[in-house]
Amino acid sequence: AQSVTQLDSQVPVFEEAPVELRCNYSSSVSVYLFWYVQYPNQGLQLLLKYLSGSTLVKGINGFEAEFNKSQTSFHLRKPSVHISDTAEYFCAVSAGGGGATNKLIFGTGTLLAVQP
Amino acid sequence: GAVVSQHPSWVICKSGTSVKIECRSLDFQATTMFWYRQFPKQSLMLMATSNEGSKATYEQGVEKDKFLINHASLTLSTLTVTSAHPEDSSFYICSARSGGTQYFGPGTRLLVL
């Protein structure tokens, strides 16, 4: 079974500052890793994903994440945030291999609060 | 690509009535769709996995007779909340799987009075 830990429930940051949202996972098998963003009263939008290959993954809106197998982490980073990045960010993991019914296990979410 | 829609986006109903929510994959076929429930300021809770042409698989603690799921085609899954009660009020989100990735719909907010 897989599990995901997002240690930070809320991360306040000033506009144009860099940010890192932390995500650690546990799994006994290979995994796929995802970051989703949720704006208020909306569904989830895929930011980026790691399925295989390069451990540095670039996503939309200037975000990137690095898969670190030895540290079982998949932290999300952005070098300069905007007010519009204020949202809830969810890290998720599923068992690798592309099984059709592989479930997504979500972290508890991190609220990124960008202040002017 | 990989767009998922939900209808309705919000619904208000009286206690005891049934409500149907549709989830559609617009530009791809999905043999598997998922239904989630999200309470305010909380993460998503998987309710069930919807498989095209077969019965849905429900997570532990989810009443299958209350939350009826039908996945009749490769682009449509429906969730029917039967005899809804105020405690069923929540934000329901579906997702459809394409390759190794789940793509989410915009969600349906249900309020039961």
Q: Convert the pLDDT of each residue in A34-57 to its tens digit.
A: 999 999 878 899 999 998 889 999
What are the tens digits of pLDDT across the range B32-73?
999 999 988 788 899 999 988 888 999 999 999 999 999 989
**From A42, A49, A103, residue closest to B106, measured CB to CB:** A42
Rounded Cα gap, residues B101 and B90, in angstroms? 25
What pLDDT score does A29 carry? 82
Q: CB–CB of B101/A96 below 8 Å?
A: no
pLDDT of residue A99: 58
Residues of chain A contacting residue B46, judged by C-beta atoms under 8 Å apart: 103-104
Per-residue pLDDT band for B14 (boundaries 50, 70, 90) equals very high
Contact B89, B69 (CB under 8 A): no
Residue contact A36–B104, C-beta within 8 A: yes
- Would you state the torsion angle of the CA atoms of residues B67, B28, B102, B83, taken in this order, to the nearest 10 degrees? -10
SS (H, E, C) chain A: CCEEECCCCEEEEECCCCEEECCEEECCCCEEEEEEEECCCCCEEEEEEECCCCCEEECHHHCEEEEECCCCEEEEEECCCCHHHCEEEEEEEEECCCCCCCCCEECCCEEEEEEC
Alpha carbons B31 and A35: distance in angstroms, whole number: 23
CA-closest candidate to residue A25, choices A87, A75, A97, A89: A75
- Chain A partners of B42 at a C-beta cutoff of 8 Å? 108-109
Number of neighbours of residue A86 by Cβ within 10 angstroms: 17
Mean pLDDT of B102-113: 94
Mean pLDDT of chain B, nearest integer: 92
Inter-chain contact B95–A104, Cβ cutoff 8 Å? yes
Nearest to A43 among B31, B93, B100 (CB): B93
B95 to chain A, closest Cα gap in Å: 9
Q: What is the mean pLDDT of residues A21-39?
A: 92
**pLDDT value, residue A1:** 77
